Structures are given as structure tokens and as C-alpha cells.
């Protein structure tokens, strides 16, 4: 078996309607009508950061998240005014909307009435069987799925804490956080009993924690016990910087094992970054077909002779909205490793001696001074996209092999400088990185 395992088959659920489009999550097992299904591509979702009852801003935020690539958007509905707002919001947006319900089961009923496409319930704060039954009945009537989302932070035992800890601790003895692992699985089993008693299987499951290794453990265990699609996430992951590492560690490892049907990366930051990074993770794992530029860039080193950090960021920002075909663009600091690393790139630039040589499909098309590199590179990318879209050229197709420039010629320091042991550097490098910021 290769490093990527096949997707784990699950029952599929369907989120959305004719207007928003219907998104399948999971699959591979027969659906509710007994029809065979295939696993759907892993779905990227996120959650709005603003107030749902602030209708115009909420709609604008959902549009922004959808434009960034979110396929499903969740909104908080803590108050009646939030579920009321859904009646105005849902007709204005083009992605399925999930109502995130905590504490008040009535919010779920109101959200269903308002036309929401999916409900998220938390067993940690809505556990009364009659209340859960009421939500299940309402969702069943309208064909709306429910995500059962147990979060480490909200399932702490309040009654008989010590006794439960000892009982449950036995199941995963010797495992890190064994008691918590058993507690989350027990909560899910107890909750699912209510759904099964109603013969309701339109269910997705999540079991989030802020601890990436625990997330890996708990989802691995859950994937072996239940055949429902899994919504992956590291919750309260922190800032974009630390949250990105935690999320990629846990979600990347799980998906490499075939586990996970939809993901939400969560940051204490603009949720657009959650969507962008979620998509990048799926593209990097080959689980979704890339949209837009695949940017390759060298990390720079003591050989650098142009301001590559700024150049790469400028290229990324300029191309992210303009380029829709998955072309590979390489921005390399010099010719030492440049040609090798740019192998396979559709458009590439090798910089050096305050100049840049630009290649398209391996063919040298320009040699320009540093101030002109950005504009010329962008221009070549746009022209290349137009040729791809017209069918004139194919992505990944090389006309000729890249012939690296002479290291002491066009981009090198020249014989005299090398003989003098002098290489001119790019000057002060930026001290503050802006990677990932627009
Ligand atoms: S491509 Fe050149 S400048 Fe960039 S890291 Fe490699 S050797 Fe250094």
C-alpha cells in the first residue's frame, strides 16, 4: 500500500438544495435509499466570525468565504434573532448553510423552519432525549442531516467524575488521554443510540480537541467504530501560525490514512485563511484538483541577489485571483538549484545578479532587470493561461528541457567578480514575513 490509503467508505450525507447545489459528504456505502455511492471529494467548510443577526454583514461574509472556496458555511445561532435572520440570509447566499446549535434545542427547530441545510448539535450541552428527539423529527421531515459534534472542551464529566474516569480509563489503559478518548466515544455511542432508536442515519460526526495527537487518536478510533462521514478539525487551534501546524499535523495524517470526509481548519483569525489553508492541504495531498497557481519558491540562502521574499509574495497576491488553471509557477533565487526545482514548472524565473531569466515550458522567453521581473512574469503567466484555456498548450507540457543559464554568464557574477571573490548581494532582507497575508 502506498503512503496515501484509500478513502474509508462511509454512508453519504447530502447538504444543500437545488438553489445552492447539493454537496455530498462521505460515501462509498449505500445511501439512505439503498443506492450505491462513491466517496465524494473531501469538502472544505468554515464558519462565519460575525454575528448572524447582522444580516447584511453575515451575507457579505458568506459570499467572501464562498468566493475563497468554502463549499459549506456554518453560522452561530445563539439567540432567536439569529435563527430569525436565517430566513433573510439563506435566500441570498449560494452555499449550503449549517446552524451551529448549543444549549437551546429550540434554535435547531427554528433554524430548520428557516430553511437551514444542516444542523450541528453538541452532546455536551443538548443531551435531553426528548429535546434531541424533537430535533431529529424536524430534520427527518425535511431531509436535513445533523452533525454530532463532541468537543473535548464541552464534554467534561460533571457528575460522578471520578467513578466515570476509572470506568472509562480501563478501555484505553496506557494510552495518552485514554480516559478522554473513552469518554468521547462513550458520549457519541450514547447520543447515537437516540438517533438509531428513531432510525435516523443522516449523520456526520466530529470529535475535536486542541491537541493534534489526540485528534489523530480519537478520529482513528471513531473511524473504526462508526460508518458515518467524519468532519475533521482541531478546535481552538490558536493563531493562524500555530493553528496551521496543528491542523495540518492532525488532519493531514488522518486523511493520508483515508480518514475524513469534510474539514474545517479553525484559526483565531479571518476565516478566509481557514478556507485557503484547507484547500491547500487537500491539494497538497492530491485529494482535490488544484484550482489556480501552484507556486514553487526557494527559501533563499546566502547566494540570493534579488529581493526574492517580496517578489514571491507579490507574485502570489497578483496571481491568486487572476489564474484559475492549476499551472505551476517557480520563483527561484538562483541557478544553483533553480533548474532542478523548477523542473515541471510551466512558468519559471531564475534570479541572480539583480536580473531574472524567465522560462515558459522550458523555453527562455526573457532576461530582465530586477524591477521588471514581476510584471514580465505576471504577463507570461496570463498569456500562458490564455493559451491553456484556448487549448493551444497543455499544463505540464515541456517544449524543451530547461537549459540553465551559465552560472558566470547572464545571471552569474561574471569572471571578474568571481576572481575578485566578490558577489553583490540583494541588500537588507525583510525582517517581518507576511506569508499567507493578503
Ligand atoms: S535556489 Fe539558489 S538562492 Fe534559492 S535556496 Fe537554492 S541555492 Fe539558495
**Grid coordinates belonging to 215:** 485528534
Average of per-residue pLDDT across 118-133: 95
Q: Whose CA is nearest to atom 2 of ligand 1?
A: 334
Cα 108 to ligand 1 centre (Å): 55
Pocket test for ligand 1, best of 309, 312, 333, 426 (most atoms within 8 A of CB): 333
**HEC profile for 278-333?**
HHHHHHHCCCCCCCCCEEEECCCCCCCCCCHHHHHHHHHHHHHHHCCCCCEEEEEC
The average pLDDT across 405-428 equals 51
60-64, 150-154, 159-163, 236-240: range with highest mean pLDDT: 60-64
Mean pLDDT of 266-282: 95
Q: How confident is the model at residue 170 (pLDDT cuts 50, 70, 90)?
A: confident
Cα gap 11→9, rounded to integer Å: 7
Atom from ligand 1 closest to the CA of residue 341: 1
Q: Is 186 in contact with 224 (CB distance < 8 Å)? A: no
Q: How far is the CA of 254 from the centre of ligand 1 (A)?
A: 33
**pLDDT on residue 404:** 63
Task: Please count the other Cβ atoms lying within 10 Å of the Cβ belonging to residue 405.
Answer: 21
Give the pLDDT score at 433. 37
Question: Cα of 331 to ligand 1 centre, how many Å?
Answer: 10
Q: What is the pLDDT of residue 434?
A: 39
pLDDT of residue 430: 44
- The pLDDT of residue 157: 59
Query: With bands split at pLDDT 50, 70 and 90, how would you rate the model's confidence at 165?
Result: low
The mean per-residue pLDDT over the stretch 27-55 comes to: 97
Whether the predicted pLDDT of 298 surpasses 60: yes
Position 236 scores a pLDDT of: 81
Q: Which of 297, 332, 411 to mutate to test the pocket of ligand 1 (most atoms within 8 A of CB)?
A: 332
Could you give the percent of the chain with pLDDT greater than 70? 86
> What is the pLDDT at residue 431?
39
C-alpha cell at 272: 478566509
- For range 81-104, the mean pLDDT: 97
What pLDDT, on a 0 to 100 scale, did the predictor assign at position 427? 45
Residue 398 has a pLDDT of: 76
* Cell numbers for 379: 504577463
Q: Ligand 1 test: best mutation among 336, 341, 355, 413, most atoms within 8 Å of CB?
A: 336
Q: Which of 122-131, 137-146, 174-183, 284-293 has the weakest average pLDDT?
A: 174-183
> pTM of the predicted model, to two decimals?
0.86
pLDDT in tens, 185-208: 989 999 999 999 999 999 999 999
**Average pLDDT, whole number, for the chain?**
88
Nearest residue to 365 via CA among 352, 353, 377: 377
- Cα(423) to ligand 1 centroid in Å equals 14
Q: What is the mean pLDDT of residues 173-190?
A: 86
Q: To the nearest whole percent, how much of the chain has pLDDT over 90?
A: 69
Q: How confident is the model at residue 126 (pLDDT cuts 50, 70, 90)?
A: very high
pLDDT digits (tens, 9 = 90+) for 325-368: 999 999 998 877 776 766 779 999 988 878 888 999 988 899 99
Domains of the chain: 13-284 (3.20.20.20), 294-419 (3.30.413.10)
Pocket test for ligand 1, best of 299, 302, 307, 334 (most atoms within 8 A of CB): 334
Task: Report the pLDDT value the prediction gives residue 420, as an integer from 0 to 100.
Answer: 52
Interior angle at CA 310, CA 394 and CA 383, nearest 5? 25
What pLDDT, on the 0 to 100 scale, is given for residue 378? 97
**195 in Cβ contact with 203 (< 8 Å):** yes
Q: Are 426 and 420 spatial neighbours (Cβ–Cβ below 8 Å)?
A: no
Among 7-16, 103-112, 386-395, 400-409, which stretch is predicted with the lowest mean pLDDT?
Answer: 400-409
Which residues form ligand 1's pocket by a CB distance below 6 Å? 298-301, 303-304, 332-334, 336-338
Say whether pLDDT at 318 is over 50.
yes
pLDDT of residue 294: 93
More confident residue, 136 or 152: 136
Helices (H) and strands (E) in the chain, counts: 13, 15
* Mean pLDDT score, 247-271: 96
Select, from the ranges 50-64, 170-184, 227-241, 297-311, the one with the highest average predicted confidence (pLDDT). Answer: 50-64
Question: What distance in Å separates the CA atoms of residue 337 and residue 234, rounded to the nearest whole number?
Answer: 36
**CA–CA dist 247, 267 (Å, integer):** 9
The reported pLDDT for the residue numbered 438 is 34
Q: Which of 36-40, 49-53, 355-359 has the lowest mean pLDDT?
A: 355-359
Per-residue confidence (pLDDT) for residue 301, from 0 to 100? 87
- Determine the distance separating the centroid of ligand 1 and the alpha carbon of 393, expressed in angstroms: 29
Confidence of residue 161 (pLDDT cuts 50, 70, 90): low
Amino acid at each position: 500500500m502506498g503512503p496515501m490509503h484509500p478513502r474509508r467508505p462511509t454512508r453519504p450525507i447530502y447538504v444543500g438544495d437545488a438553489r445552492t447545489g447539493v454537496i455530498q459528504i462521505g460515501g462509498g456505502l449505500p445511501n439512505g435509499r439503498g443506492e450505491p455511492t462513491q466517496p465524494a471529494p473531501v469538502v472544505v467548510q468554515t464558519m462565519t466570525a460575525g454575528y448572524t443577526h447582522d444580516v447584511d454583514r453575515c451575507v457579505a461574509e458568506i459570499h467572501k468565504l464562498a468566493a475563497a472556496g468554502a463549499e459549506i458555511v456554518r453560522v452561530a445561532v445563539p439567540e432567536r434573532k439569529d435563527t430569525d435572520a436565517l430566513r433573510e440570509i439563506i435566500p441570498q447566499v449560494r452555499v449550503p448553510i449549517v446552524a451551529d446549535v448549543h444549549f437551546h434545542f429550540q434554535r435547531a427547530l427554528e433554524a430548520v423552519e428557516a430553511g437551514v441545510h444542516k444542523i450541528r448539535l453538541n452532546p455536551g450541552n443538548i443531551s435531553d432525549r426528548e429535546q434531541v428527539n424533537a430535533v431529529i423529527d424536524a430534520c427527518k421531515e425535511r431531509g436535513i442531516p445533523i452533525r454530532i459534534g463532541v468537543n473535548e472542551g464541552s464534554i467534561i464529566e460533571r457528575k460522578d467524575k471520578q467513578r466515570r474516569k476509572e470506568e472509562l480509563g480501563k478501555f484505553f489503559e496506557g494510552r495518552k488521554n485514554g480516559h478522554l478518548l473513552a469518554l468521547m466515544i462513550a458520549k457519541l455511542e450514547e447520543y447515537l443510540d437516540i438517533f438509531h432508536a428513531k432510525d435516523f442515519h443522516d449523520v456526520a460526526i466530529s470529535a475535536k480537541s486542541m491537541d493534534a495527537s489526540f485528534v489523530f487518536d480519537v478520529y482513528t478510533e471513531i473511524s473504526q467504530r462508526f460508518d458515518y462521514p467524519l468532519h475533521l478539525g482541531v478546535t481552538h487551534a490558536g493563531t493562524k501560525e500555530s493553528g496551521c501546524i496543528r491542523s495540518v499535523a492532525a488532519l493531514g495524517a488522518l486523511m493520508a490514512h483515508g480518514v475524513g470526509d469534510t474539514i474545517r481548519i479553525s484559526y483565531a483569525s479571518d476565516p478566509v485563511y481557514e478556507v485557503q489553508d484547507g484547500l491547500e492541504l487537500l491539494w497538497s495531498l492530491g485529494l482535490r484538483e488544484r484550482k489556480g497557481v501552484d507556486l514553487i519558491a526557494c527559501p533563499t540562502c546566502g547566494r540570493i541577489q534579488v529581493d526574492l521574499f517580496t517578489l514571491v509574495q507579490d507574485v502570489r497576491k497578483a496571481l491568486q485571483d487572476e489564474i484559475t488553471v492549476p499551472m505551476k509557477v517557480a520563483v527561484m533565487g538562483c541557478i544553483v538549484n533553480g533548474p532542478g526545482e523548477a523542473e515541471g514548472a510551466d512558468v519559471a524565473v531564475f534570479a541572480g545578479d539583480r536580473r531574472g531569466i524567465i522560462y515558459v515550458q522550458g523555453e527562455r522567453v526573457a532576461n530582465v532587470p530586477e524591477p521588471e521581473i514581476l510584471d514580465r512574469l505576471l504577463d507570461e503567466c496570463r498569456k500562458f493561461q490564455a493559451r491553456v484555456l484556448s487549448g493551444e498548450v497543455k499544463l505540464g507540457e515541456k517544449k524543451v528541457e530547461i537549459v540553465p543559464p551559465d552560472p558566470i554568464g547572464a545571471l552569474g557574477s561574471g569572471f571578474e567578480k568571481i576572481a575578485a571573490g566578490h558577489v553583490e548581494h540583494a541588500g537588507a532582507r525583510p525582517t517581518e514575513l507576511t506569508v499567507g497575508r493578503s
